[in-house]
Amino acid sequence: MKKYFFNLSIIFFAVTANFTSPAFSGVLQKDLQNTPDFDQAAKETHDDREGGWWDELPKEKKALYTNISAAAFITLYGMADWDYGSGGFHFADEGWFEKDSKYGGADKAGHFWSTYAVADAFTGLYKHWGYDKKTAGRYGVFSSWAVQTIMELDDGTSQTQGFDWGDMTMNTLGALTSMLMEQYPELDRKIDFRVEYALNVPVQGIFDDYSNMYYALVVKLDGFDQLQHSWLQ
C-alpha cells in the first residue's frame, strides 16, 4: 500500500502543476490587477519569479527530467523507508483473486487503478506542456507504465516482496485502459474506475492497509445522452 501513496503524490503533482504554471499565474495576475487593493509590490515579486530555468526548458526535457526524477525518487525512498535492496533479485507469485492469495487480489486492483490514474495524470501534464493529444496520451501511458515497472523491479530486490508478473500484467492493463479512455471520450463519459477508503477494520498503518480499500467499476448514467434530462437526475 505504501507504493500507492507515492502514485497518488504523482497525481497530485500533475494536477497542481497546472495551477502553479506561469500561464495560470498570468491569469491570476490579471485578476489581481483588476481589484482595487492590488499590491504593486506583490506584482513586482511575481514578475521577478517568471522565466525560471524550468519554464525555459523545452517540453522534451521536462518530460525526460520528470520521468528520471520519479524513478530516482521511487528507488531512493524505497531504500530508505521500505526494504528495497535487502535481498538478491527474485520473483514472487502473490496469486490473483483467490481467497487464499496473499492479498485476496486487492493488490492487483491497486496496480491496475494506480497505473490507470497516474497515466491520466501524466497525459494531462504533457498536454499542459504543449504536446498534442495523441502524443500526450502515448507518452502518459508509457511514463506511468515505466514508473510502475521501476517499482516492480525494485520490489524484486525486497526480501518481503519480489517481482510479480501478475502485478506487471495489471500495470499494463491499467495503462492500456487509460489510453483507451483517452482515444474514446464517449467511453470515458460512461465508465469510471474508482477507489474508496473506509476505516472499517483497525490497522497499524494506512500505507500497509488493504482491508479498507474498495475498488469499483462504475457506469456513469450522466454519460448517456438519452438520460441527460430524465427523471433519474
Q: 154 vs 18, which has greater pLDDT?
A: 154
Q: In the prediction, which pLDDT does 50 show? A: 55
**At 147, is the pLDDT very low, low, confident or very high (cuts 50, 70, 90)?**
very high
pLDDT digit string, tens, across residues 165-204:
999 999 999 999 999 999 898 888 888 888 887 777 666 5
Q: Could you tell me if 145 and 171 are in contact, meaning their C-beta atoms sit under 8 angstroms apart?
A: yes
**Least confident segment among 4-13, 55-64, 108-117, 168-177:** 4-13
- E-only strand ranges, 116-220: 191-197, 213-219
Among residues 224, 108, 110, 114, the alpha carbon closest in space to that of 178 is found at 114
> Is 0.75 surpassed by the pTM of this model?
no
Of the candidates 81, 64, 187, which has an alpha carbon nearest to the alpha carbon of residue 126?
64
Q: Residue 117 — very low, low, confident or very high, per pLDDT cuts 50/70/90?
A: very high
Domain-wise residue ranges, the chain: 2-187
Share above pLDDT 90 across residues of the chain, in percent, rounded to a whole number: 33
Taking residues 124-146, report their average pLDDT: 93
